[in-house]
Amino acid sequence: MTSQEDRRPLPAVNIKSSFKGPAYVQLATLIKEKICNGEFPQGTRIPAEAAISKTYGVAVMTVRQAIHVLAEKGILRRVHGSGTFVCGPDWTRAAFNMEGLIERLEDRGSVEIQILHAGMAEASERAAESLEIEPGEMTVVLERLVSHKGQPFLLNKAYLKYDPKSPIVESEMEASSLSSLFTGQDNGFVKKSSLRLEPCVLSGREAGLLKASAAAAAFKIRYTFYGYADEPLGSGWFMTPKENISFTTRIGVWDD
C-alpha cells in the first residue's frame, strides 16, 4: 500500500446547497465515498486541507470539521507533520452488538424484574477495586432475576456505592437501568459504562433460577458504570445462557 499523497484532482462539486445539510457534513460524505469506491485506498494520504478547500470552495475550517468527523469514526487518521491518511479496519477494536439481550430489555412492557436479594454488605476486594473504595466499606447489594414474557433470561448481581442521599438505588430497580448500561440511554445518572465478557457455566442455583440445565454454557458480562463526575457508581455482573445472546459487528468503512 502506498503512503504517498493521491495528487489526482478532486472534481468540483457544489456542496453548498443547504437542503443537503451543513457543508462540512457534505464534504465528509464526499471524502468517504472516495474511500469506499477505492479512489483513496487504505494508507493513502488525502490532499492537503488547502487543496480541498480550494477545490470545493469552502473554508479551511470546514475541511477540518469534515476531517474531524471522519477521524472520529476511525476512517481517517491525522499524523503530525505528515498529513491525513486513510485508516484500515482495526480488527482489535470491534464494537459488538449484543443481539437478543438488548431487544428483550427494551421490550419493557414484557419485562419483569424480581428482586431476589437487597441489602448491605462489606465490599469485597474485587467490588472495592471496581468502585474505587476501600475493601470492607459498606455497599448496597442487589440480586435480580429478569424475565421476558414470563421466561427468566438474565441474572444480575449489582454492587452500589452506599449514599443515603443518592437516588441511584431506587433507579436501579427499574428495567431502564439495565438496558441503559448497554445502550447509554434513559438513565440520567450514567455517563458511561465498561463491559467485560466472560464465558462460564451455570451453577445448580443459577440454572434453577434461569430454568436452564445445570453446568450449561453461559455468558457473564461484568460491568462498571460511571456518573458525570467520572466516578464509578456501581459494578456487578449479568449472567445469561449462551442461546439468549449473539454478537454481531461490522469492521471497516461502511457507506451508510
**Mean per-residue pLDDT for 108-127?**
91
Q: Which of 55-59, 87-91, 103-107, 153-157 has the highest mean pLDDT?
A: 153-157
- Does the pLDDT of residue 215 top 70, yes or no? yes
Query: For residue 6, how far is the Cα from the chain centroid?
Result: 34
Least confident interval from 2-16, 96-110, 136-150, 226-240? 2-16
**What is the maximum alpha-carbon separation in the chain?**
69
The predicted-structure confidence for 40-71, as pLDDT tens digits, reads as follows 888 889 999 999 998 888 899 999 999 999 99
Cell of 184: 447509554
Of 52 and 175, the structure prediction assigns the larger pLDDT to: 52
With a pLDDT cut of 70, the percent of the chain lying above it is: 77
- Does the pLDDT of residue 256 top 60, yes or no? no
- Does the pLDDT of residue 180 top 70, yes or no? no
Q: How far apart are CA 78 and CA 67, in angstroms?
A: 9
Set out the domains of the chain in order of their start, with CATH numbers. 18-86 (1.10.10.10), 97-248 (3.40.1410.10)
Q: Could you tell me which of 125, 233, 224, 120 has the C-alpha nearest to residue 171?
A: 233
Q: How far apart are CA 79 and CA 85, in angstroms?
A: 8
- Does the pLDDT of residue 139 top 50, yes or no? yes
Q: Could you tell me which of 165, 254, 185 has the C-alpha nearest to residue 225?
A: 185
Residue 184 pLDDT: 59
Query: For residue 241, how far is the Cα from the chain centroid?
Result: 22
Sorted by sequence, the CB contacts under 8 Å of residue 208 that are 6+ apart come out as 214
- pLDDT interval class at 9 (50, 70, 90): very low
Cell of 124: 469485597
Of 168 and 242, the structure prediction assigns the larger pLDDT to: 242
26: enclosing H helix or E strand: helix 23-36
Q: How far apart are CA 152 and CA 103, in angstroms?
A: 14
